[in-house]
Structure formats: C-alpha cells, structure tokens
Structure 1
C-alpha cells in the first residue's frame, strides 16, 4: 500500500465517497419531495426576495424614463430624442401609470390573503355519518316489533301437526299434503283430489289477495306478504290451532272459513302467516275488515288491480315520464366526472391545524397555512393570492400591464422615429444602452403581466380559481385521451358528436360543471370586483359585496357531497 493511502498511525485511510452527478430533473424532483415533506413555512427572505427584485427593476425604469428620456426633451438638450411637448406628455402619462402601479402593488403585497386559522375555530375530526333505512320516518332498527312470533316448546315444534302447518305449500308438493289425509277407500281418494283442486283455487285467490293488500297499504306491502298480512290484521298467529282438512278445503272461500268453523273463529292466510282465533274465548280480539277486499264482494272472485290514477299510492305504480323525455344514448365513451366529495367535512378536515377548511380553501406549502379561496402562491407579491387580496392583485395586473406596455412603446418610438431629424449641427447621440435594456425588460414583463391579466379576467368571469381551473383542465385532458383511444384520427365527427352528447346529458364543464358558477358572467364578476364601478379600477374594497372567503353557495347541479349530477337529476327549473 502506498504511503499516501496511510494516515499518521500507519492505518489505511477511509475511502472518500465519490460524488454522484445527477441531472436537472432528478435534482428538481428531490427538491420537490423535500418541499412536500417540509412542515414549516419558507423563510421570510425567500418569500420576499421577488418583491425586492420587482421594486429594484421598476425603480430603475423610473430613472431611465424620467432622467434619461423626458428631462432632456423638456430642457431641449442637444442629445434629446424628441420635442418639449412630447416630453411633457410622456412625463405626465408615465407618472400617472407609475403611481397607480406602485399603489396597487403596495396594497397587494401588504394585504394578507386570509388564513383560515384566524377565522375558523379548531374542532375534532368529524365522524362518519351512519346511514339507516327508515320506514315511515323512523329508523328500521327502532321499529316496534309487535308481530314477534311466540316461542314454542321443543316437543310441540317437532310435532307432525306443527310440521304440516309450517310446510310451504306449492303446486309441486300438493301430493305430500294429500298423502297426509289419504284414506284406504276409493271414496276418500276422490275427496282428496277434490280437496287438492280447491286448494289450488285458494292459492290463486291468496296471491291475488296479497297483491291487493300491497296496493291498499303500500307500507305493509313493501315489507313482504307475510308481514303485510300480519300488519293488516294487527295480530300475530297463534301457535296451537290445529289444521284440518276442513280448514284446507274451505280456503277457497273469500273469508277462509268452512261452515263448521264460522262459529269458532276466523282464518286468514297471508303468505306463510295464518291467523286463527276463537270467538268463544273471553279475550278474543276484534278484527278490522279485510283491507284487501273491495266493497260489495265476499272475496270469491279476484278483483282487478287499481289503476295508476287511483288515489291510494302504491309501490307498484311508477310516475309517467315527461313528454319531452328521451332515453340517454349509448355512447362508446362515457363522461366520468371528478369523484372527490369536496363539500363533506371529512374531506375538508385538516389534521395539521385541526380545523375544517372552508369551501374553496387549500393549504399552501410555502406559507404552511390554509388560505381562504386560494388561487396560487405568487412570489412577485411575496405571499399567496387568496380571497382577501385577490381583487387588489387583479388591480395590480391591470396597471402593471398598462405601465410596461407604455414604457416599451414610447422608448421604442424615441429610439427609432427621430433618426431622420438630426442634422450636422445636432448630431445623433447614439443608442442608449440603458434604454435598450429597459425596452427589453418592459417587453418581457408586458408579455408576462398581459397573459396573467387575460387569464385572471377569464377566471373571474367563470368564478373559478387557478387551482379549480387546473382540475377542470385535467378532466378535459382525460376526456381527450379517452376519445383519442376510442376513435381514430379521422373520426373527428364522432368525437364532436360524443362531446355534444356529453354536454346534453351533463352540461358544459366550465359552466354547468363548475361547482361555484353563479349563472352569469356579470354575477361572477360582481362577486369578486363588487358592483361599484370605481372599485373595478382602483385598489379599494369591493362595494357593496366583499368576498370574505367563508361563505359560498354551491351550484345546485351538484349533490350535497359535491358530485356533479346528470341533467335529469337537476332541479326542474335548471334543466
């Protein structure tokens, strides 16, 4: 081993780690992950660095424009680039735009966007809401069970008579019932065949009676034939009444009684429930008349079902569709709206601050806080743009666009048009490099501010934020990808017809599909900028409406959870 590889004590030196060279994309991804895992806000210097940069650039532009362009024109110096009148006009307009630019920028920077922790109290995490099935306005679990069957002794439960009563009677097992009552003589066999035929007629009448019970009492019919019959007669079946051939053979009558049993009680069959009571008992209950039999009939013949125009409601009847209703077309590609329940408290709860975020609020990782109606984090104002400073930010974009365009245009004119006016007595002073630098900077800032001004004007007219617009763009991108994968390149008509059918079934993404759309561009504009026209151009509070970031009315075309519904599910006045 070489001496250079040994330390002072003669031990081998540890190998130095070889630095790994990574690309720009990997470096940006690592920084993004670190920023996502960071809990605290960025340092004050990092957040306000761009503010100082903007102040320095526009201060330098003031020096170039006033000192090196306008003053030589007013003094009529030899190196001037225009006349005195031109210099005075430039100076007045420039100062107006510069003052308005400084005023709007100062208000936008010093006004807080509105943090939710200052307006919303801390709460515990909301619990999941349990959903219950309700019957007649009451939870199904709390319904009184007045028809609970009685407990029977074990020996009585397995008796032959009990087994015959609980046996389910159908057409295919009628022979088993006949075997229970079959005798040795041929006469008894003939009676058994006649009894089977009567039993079949009673089953037909029984099915018809159950249907009329459901029609006359929808709440009872919805619970099934067995419970419906029990509710109709308001009494549970007894457990000790015998079943005899006379009872079975008399089921063909409307009241279910044989002549021998008319003095003893009443039998009423409803599905698998049989009600038998003896009138000789001192505690014999009083039964109401049968609700499933029409007036003036003894139940021997089946009665027709009531029509849909009947006054009694029924779960068997369905409302007629409107005249202009058309079934939705079957499309090769279906629209799939966003499925996030953005209006629920569980979705909006933030465990880091322990509060339920108000509507349209989001957490900014640079400010480490929940911002009311967050639009974006703007480094040029050193903070987020939210509900409380969004109007002032828009006013700043108005005057910064006008200011940069005026500086760019007038400096460009001053450097090009007067070239033919110079003579030998007043030679051309040459190109001013500092003015050329301001021309380049003002042009770049004009493109930037003009694009922001146009974009935010469209956002205000649709009442959406930048974050919400990004979500809508992602949905459009998914739809374009689905159409491209389904249809070929030349099938543009099929794509267009599919989008039209989507808009017919759901509405447009930017309007009906906007959770916060107020119905018109004017209403959306006045919500942010106010109704007073003076506030549209000055950085003053909106009057009489002020967007506080706490109170918003969702679009009624959405469900209470925040899901976009089809047009057929909208309120009638909005379809």
Structure 2
C-alpha cells in the first residue's frame, strides 16, 4: 500500500477512504484559513508578535553593539591588553562618551515606542453611518485618486495604434488640453471599522486596526504607526540613531586600522552601523523636509500620482517621444493656470519655521531631546486658502483676491 501524491492511500480497497481523508483535510485547512481571515481584518490589529518582532530584533542589535564597543574594543584599551597603541586614556574617554550617547539614544527609542501615534477613536466620538454612502472607507493609507477625464481618454484610446493624434491648429493655436485634477470627496469620511467620521489627515491603518490622526506611515522598527502625537519623537530618534551609528562607525574604523588582529564582531558591527546609519540619516532628512513643506509621507504620494497622470495625458495626446516642445508649453500653461501651487500643498500654510514648530514644539531643547509635545490637537489644521474647503485644488482665478496678486 503506497502513499499517493497527496498522502492518500493508493490501495484499491481503501481508495475511497483515502480520497475522503484528503477531502476532509482540505476542508479543515480551508476552514482554518477562513478563520484567520476573519480574525485579522482592518478592524483588528495584526498579531502582537508580528507587530513587535522587528522591535525585538533592533533591541538585540543595540545590545550587541554596546557589547562590542565596550567589551571588545574599549575594555582591552582600558586594561592595556590591546595592540592598537591607542592607550588607556583613549579607552576611558571613548567609553564615557559612548555610554552617554547610548543612554540618550535608548531614551529616544523608548519614548518613541511608548508614545502612541494618536488614535482618532480616543479623541473623536463614535457616529452612525451617514445616510449617503461614505465617500471613503479609509483603509489607510488612502490612495490619492485622480479623476478620469473620460471623454478625452476614451477618444485617445480609440485612436489608431499606429498614429499619434497631433495637436490641431484650426483656431490658430494649440488645442487646449485639460489638466487632470484629483477627485475630491465632499461627503463625510466615515470609517466603517472605527465607526467615526475621520478628521482631516486621518487614515485607517490596517496593521494597528485603528484610525491614526495625521497618519504618516506604519513603521515596523517601532511596532506601530507614526502619526500626529509621535512624529516629533520619530525625528528625534532618527537624529540620535544617526549620531549613534556614526560614532560607532568612526571609532571602530580607527580601532581596526590600529589593531594588528582582526575581530570578526568588530567588522560585522562596522557594516551594520553603516547600513543603519545611512537608513536613519535618509529618514531624518526626508521627514525634516516633509515637515517644512507641510506634508506627511502618505500625502506626498499625491504629488507623485499627479505627475504620473499628467505624463499619461501628454503621452496620449502627443506620443511618448515626440512633440516635447509642445508638452513643455502645455505644462507651463497648467502652471500658470494653477498658480504654480503643487497638488499636495493643502496644509502648507505659513513659513517653514512655523510648520516646524507646529510639529516639533516651540522649545528648542525639545527639538533635540524626546520631551514636550506637538502643538495643536491633531484634528484641526491650518489649510492653504488656495484650496477649497474639501481640499479642492483651485485655479488661480478662484483664489482669494489678496492671493491673486
């Protein structure tokens, strides 16, 4: 009696029983999968271990880095057992500075993972479903949809594939090409998972299972979302992570060059510090720029989507490789018509310094250390008057008169 390809018996006398056993097993497996899908929905957070696994990995790496720097590099210098020739005083000075840097770095990380992003259900009262269908169900991050230009695109797509529709000069000028404009929801942004009307800039995170105020992104290295309440701590953490990795990198490179022997753990930590240091620095610079331009990570995608839609419209009109001068003319006309305001600048109102203080607080010490809190309440934000009340991207002629000058 030999087993079949699926583990069922192939004996003719027991063939039916074997098939039945496989059938039951498949049904049980399907039931388990269905149960898991019901258990983990956007209304519920991911399993705790799944959300916190990367946090444990990062903590383990930090502990290892402390051991390598103190136990395998500084201790031999202090005990005069090292062949580097750097001296006891160097070892003591490097270790004291490293421990201080480690404590501030650890403080910033603990503050980061202990501070929630600001969950909207904790600040907004529940509300019943709107009478009309909600405009956005909000499984975050919400995509920045761009409204289709139905007639224009349908005509372009029906054009013969071997020809490119050329601009018409029947009226003595290039044919007007409408700019693709993002669709704007004007109804209540009701979340069916949290059962609330979402405030501006709030999105539902499927990993945390809740709506997050001023949602930026979900970060696996902190095991939660980055949002209104903890964005400043995320930036401060990346600042100290960059300095921590840079300190380790510089010291261990000098140590390795001075040592006649090769320590594999020291070499490994140099590589890890370089990798994480570059990552932390890139995150730091990116988020400082986003703050000073009044955007979050998810909001910045709207500009990328707009560029893609505009490129698609121009390609359908002029082709991929031809009429580049005409494409530039159309883009310049669009810029003039909309006043050069980017599509993702709805919350860019005020100077870069004002936007920075709204996010990081007014105390300068709070820009460097994980203390204080952001200004505001995470629900109400100053809106750029060049946009409509629902975030409509307005033409310059529709701006307030004082801004049209």
TM-score by length of 1: 0.56
Structure 1 residue 354: deviation in Å?
2.1
Aligned length: 348
2:370 paired residue number: 539
Q: Which is worse superposed, 477-486 or 352-361?
A: 477-486
1:569 paired residue number: 398
Q: Which runs of 5+ in 1 are unaligned?
A: 18-32, 130-328, 420-427
2:389 paired residue number: 560
Q: Which is worse superposed, 66-75 or 112-121?
A: 66-75
**Cα distance between partner residues in 1 of 2:326 and 2:16:** 78
1:115 aligns with 2:132: no
1:381 aligns with 2:381: no
CA-to-aligned-CA distance 1:209-239 (integer Å, 9 cap, x gap): xxxxxxxxxxxxxxxxxxxxxxxxxxxxxxx
1:6 aligns with 2:11: yes
1:502 paired residue number: 334
Question: CA, structure 1 residues 10+488, in 2 after alignment: closer, same or farther (shift >3 Å)?
Answer: closer
1:445 aligns with 2:269: no
Q: Is the 8 A contact 1:358 1:372 kept in 2?
A: yes
**Cα distance between partner residues in 1 of 2:341 and 2:362:** 27
How is 1:102-141 mapped onto 2 (pairs within 5 angstroms)? 102-127=106-131
Structure 1 residue 476: deviation in Å?
1.4
Which is greater in Rg? 1
How is 1:144-543 mapped onto 2 (pairs within 5 angstroms)? 333-341=177-185, 344=186, 346-416=187-257, 418=258, 428=260, 430-485=261-316, 486=318, 488-489=320-321, 491-510=323-342, 513-542=344-373
**Cα distance between partner residues in 2 of 1:12 and 1:69:** 67
**Cα distance between partner residues in 2 of 1:113 and 1:334:** 40
Structure 1 residue 331: deviation in Å?
5.8
1:550 aligns with 2:379: yes
CA RMSD of aligned residues (A): 3.1
SS in 2 for 1:370: strand
Q: Is the 8 A contact 2:385 2:400 kept in 1?
A: yes
2:45 to 41, 45, 49: 41
2:67 paired residue number: 63
Question: CA, structure 1 residues 448+125, in 2 after alignment: closer, same or farther (shift >3 Å)?
Answer: same
SS in 2 for 1:88: helix
CA-to-aligned-CA distance 1:180-227 (integer Å, 9 cap, x gap): xxxxxxxxxxxxxxxxxxxxxxxxxxxxxxxxxxxxxxxxxxxxxxxx
TM-score by length of 2: 0.77
Question: CA, structure 1 residues 2+378, in 2 after alignment: closer, same or farther (shift >3 Å)?
Answer: closer
SS in 1 for 2:19: coil
Q: Is the 8 A contact 1:7 1:13 kept in 2?
A: no
Question: CA, structure 1 residues 13+102, in 2 after alignment: closer, same or farther (shift >3 Å)?
Answer: closer
Question: CA, structure 1 residues 334+513, in 2 after alignment: closer, same or farther (shift >3 Å)?
Answer: farther
**Cα distance between partner residues in 1 of 2:175 and 2:97:** 59
